Structure 1
Amino acid sequence: MKNDYPAMLHRFAIGRQMQIFAIALLPLVAAGMMHYGMHVLWMLITSYVAAFCVEFSFAKIRHLKVDAGAIVTPLIFTLVLPPTLPLWIVAVGSAFGVFFGKAIFGGLGKNIFNPAIVGRLFITISFPAFMATMWLDPKTDAITTASPLGVLNRGQDFNYGLMDLLIGGVPGSVGETFRLGIIIIGIILILMRIVNWRIPVFFIGSVFLITWAGSLIWPGTYKDPFLSILVGGILFGAFFVASDPITSPYTQKGRMLYGIGLGIITVVIRNFAAFPEGVMFAVIIMNAVSPLLDDMVLNRPKKREAGVQS
């Protein structure tokens, strides 16, 4: 595929492509509702209403139409939330993410950061008790402070089976626990060329390799590399968040470096920081350096040519 950012952005930004992406995520919404109940649907509706209010207001001010990104951002935002989250926090996070993550930059195609993750990061820091300790166990319908990621990070006895992790019968965010569906949908979107394979492959691959190497050297700190991929939001983040063509690099080598950077930051935060999950922080950080990665790749031949001429 030709490395042409305007063409790629246009292809993704048109309504049909956004609709395909949104439709592809609906099975994850259905799985979330099946595991966690109808509150997930109310969260989704609240997210769309709050996001649309911001989108519509900015569209009126700028005398523009509401862009196609309004279809996807509230959907992704809902899928990265705990299923017990109060609706007023959902509204705050959705509105904040769209306002400060996209609208303030001028709309779709001009934003630096993924707006859904901007909203998620804001409410994670603002309401930590709701975001990190109030998980819903779908098997017992009880609120718990434990999730597979937290259990693995704390080195406790890991009693979650492989099928539970793949099908989604475990505590976690709405869209991250049906991992088998994430993998299948992600592969389909890659085959349709809506998602570029380099980012998820290098992201997931780097997490696995770094964790595997770390487990050999510091087994008490680094955990099982296979389980590290199957807990938390790595799979969802790799296929549906980090691969956002607007906030990720548009050069092929830049995407590879981007994926590796995501993996490194995620592993470091998971193993050494206070927050158990590092994916959203990794995405925000790598969004910021995404243009730099493209500049490094594009300017490298020029520097090489200048060195030969001198």
Structure 2
Amino acid sequence: MSETGWLDRLRGGFKKTSDRLGDNLAGLLTKSTLDAETLDEIEEALIASDLGPAAAARVRARLATERFERGLDEAAVREIVAQELAKILAPVAKPLEIEAFPRPQVILVVGVNGSGKTTTIAKLANLFLEQDYGVLLAAGDTFRAAAIGQLKTWADRVGVPMIAGPEGGDPSAVVFDGVKRATAEGIDVLIVDTAGRLQNKKGLMDELAKIRRVLGRLNPAAPHDVVLVLDATTGQNALSQIEVFKEVAGVTGLIMTKLDGTARGGVLVAAAERYGLPIHAIGIGERIDDLRPFDPLDTARAIAGATGESRT
């Protein structure tokens, strides 16, 4: 996909979010000065757009220093919002790099069922294939036959091999076989699907701990990444999922999906501000190439609905 195509898709994907922000700001930008009351109202509008209180306070502080000689200008305000959001996103915008030696690099993918985990694994595999890496998928969610079948369908569609065990089998055995096969065949990346059952945190924690122990025997550095897939349509609930999975799985980075299906895309900023975890990629559509690493300023402008043409 061309850079321009992705940018257009990015703006389109965040349109509901930027429209919501515009709706929340509507009526506030008709005043001639940014007095304390107006700043408070703008801050509340930003919080209502799921950007989170810390990001909203940051934008408010910046706006308080600005001078608007000809009255409030919506384009200028949106550009300032974009610039401040970009500062929050810049430190966390980190693509997944394949650097492990010896190979394979083992990426555990975690997340609640329904978050888009399986399709995200396929899109990640596609992203790595584009970079000429060899990829193997491992069906570590052995408790749902549907999960194994769905991953197999995606593996065939993307054109990568997959390793699986019997339904109800031991996930760590599947991961063990995956590392063995990837090592023997010189495959660069092993992406492991894992169970998403948060109802029993203890069970999931034990399962992931066992996978880690098995991996550790084969390669002390593995897993190299534990990536949490978040569904942006859940809004602030995505933040509580980060909290839980940090504790349960030792998350090292995030991928946020379904940003095109929600007006709550501001939660991407809230997650960056609160946790500071690397955000490796964002998903803004159903197509196989709709998952990409992101540019902080382009993404901030898309969220804010800023054109980049304002005077500020």
TM-score range, shorter chain: under 0.3
TM-score, scaled relative to structure 2: 0.25
| Greater share of strand | 2
| Greater share of helix | 1
TM-score, scaled relative to structure 1: 0.25
